[in-house]
C-alpha cells in the first residue's frame, strides 16, 4: 500500500513539474519582451538624465529601472522578500558582501538599499553591449574589473574604494566571483574584498544571504524558472575598523553561508 502511495505521489509531482515547465515557455517569452523593452527605453532616459540634469536625476532613473525590472520578474510568478532589521547609516561608506546566485540578485539590492547609492564591483564584459545595464555600470560609479588581469583589477578596486570612501556610498561585491547555479555557495575569493576594506577604512560591512535566486535559471535562459520566492536577509552590520582583517572576512563568510538554504 505504501509503495502504491509513493508511486502515485511521485507521478503527481512529476506531472506538476512538467506542467510548470510547459507554462514557463510562454511566460518566458512575455517576460523577455517586457524585460528587453524596459532596458531599451531606459537607456536614452539614463543618458538624458545624466547629461542634462546630472547625477541625482540619473540615479533616480536607475532606481525606477530596478523597480520595473523586479515587476518584470513578477510575470514569471517570482516574488521577493527583503529582510533588513538594521538601520544602516547614510553618513558612512558601506560595503555589502553577498553570495551570488543569478543576475536577479542585483535589482532588489539596488532598489531596497537605494538611499545608500549602491554601486557594484563587476566584470568588465558587462560594461558594454547591454542596454541600460552597461551604461549605468560605466557612468553610475561602479567598478569594472578584468578578471584575467589582476593588476588592473586591484587598481580599479582601489579607485572605486576611494570613491566610496569620499562619497559615503555603498559598494556591493560578490566574493564567490561567479554565480552558483544550484544555490550551493562557492568558496569566497577574498582578495578584492580585502583591497576594498583596506582602502575604505571607515566602512560598515553588511553581509547579505540570498536564497532561491538560482531557481529563476533552473532550466537555463529559456525557459526560465517560474514561481521562485527570492529572499534577501541582511545580517548585523560590522565596523571594519574593529576587526582584524582575517577575523572579519571569516565572520562575514560564515554568517552569509549559515543562512543559505539549498
Section 237-250 average pLDDT:
94
Pairing relationship of beta strands 170-173 and 118-123 according to DSSP bridges: parallel
Residues 92-108 pLDDT 10s: 999 999 999 999 999 99
Residues 174-232 pLDDT 10s: 998 777 788 888 888 888 899 999 999 999 999 999 999 999 999 889 999 999 999 99
List of domains in the chain: 2-258 (3.40.1130)
| pTM for this model (two decimals) | 0.90
Strand boundaries in the chain, DSSP class E: 79-83, 94-98, 118-123, 143-145, 170-173, 204-211, 229-234, 238-239
Give the confidence band of 5 by pLDDT, cuts at 50, 70, 90.
very low
Amino acid at each position: 500500500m505504501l509503495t502504491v502511495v509513493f508511486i502515485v505521489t511521485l507521478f503527481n509531482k512529476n506531472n506538476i513539474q512538467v506542467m510548470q515547465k510547459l507554462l514557463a515557455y510562454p511566460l518566458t517569452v512575455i517576460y523577455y519582451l517586457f524585460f528587453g523593452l524596459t532596458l531599451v527605453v531606459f537607456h536614452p532616459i539614463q543618458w538624458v538624465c545624466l547629461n542634462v540634469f546630472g547625477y541625482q536625476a540619473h540615479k533616480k532613473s536607475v532606481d525606477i529601472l530596478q523597480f520595473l525590472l523586479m515587476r518584470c520578474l513578477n510575470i514569471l510568478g517570482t516574488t521577493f522578500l527583503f529582510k533588513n532589521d538594521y538601520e544602516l547609516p547614510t553618513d558612512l561608506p558601506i560595503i555589502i558582501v553577498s553570495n551570488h546566485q543569478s543576475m536577479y540578485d542585483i535589482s532588489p539590492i539596488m532598489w531596497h538599499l537605494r538611499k545608500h547609492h549602491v554601486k557594484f564591483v563587476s566584470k568588465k564584459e558587462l560594461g558594454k553591449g547591454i542596454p541600460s545595464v552597461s551604461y549605468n555600470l560605466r557612468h553610475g560609479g561602479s567598478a569594472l574589473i578584468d578578471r584575467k588581469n589582476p593588476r588592473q583589477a586591484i587598481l580599479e578596486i582601489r579607485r572605486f574604494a576611494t570613491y566610496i570612501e569620499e562619497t559615503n556610498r555603498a559598494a556591493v561585491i560578490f566574493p564567490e566571483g561567479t554565480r552558483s547555479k544550484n544555490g550551493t555557495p562557492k568558496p569566497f575569493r577574498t582578495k578584492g574584498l580585502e583591497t576594498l576594506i583596506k582602502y575604505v577604512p571607515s566602512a560598515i560591512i553588511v553581509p547579505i544571504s540570498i536564497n532561491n535566486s538560482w531557481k529563476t535559471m533552473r532550466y537555463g535562459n529559456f525557459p526560465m524558472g517560474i514561481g521562485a520566492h527570492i529572499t534577501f536577509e541582511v545580517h548585523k552590520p560590522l565596523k571594519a575598523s574593529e576587526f582584524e582583517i582575517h577575523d572579519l572576512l571569516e565572520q562575514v563568510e560564515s554568517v552569509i553561508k549559515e543562512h543559505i538554504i539549498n
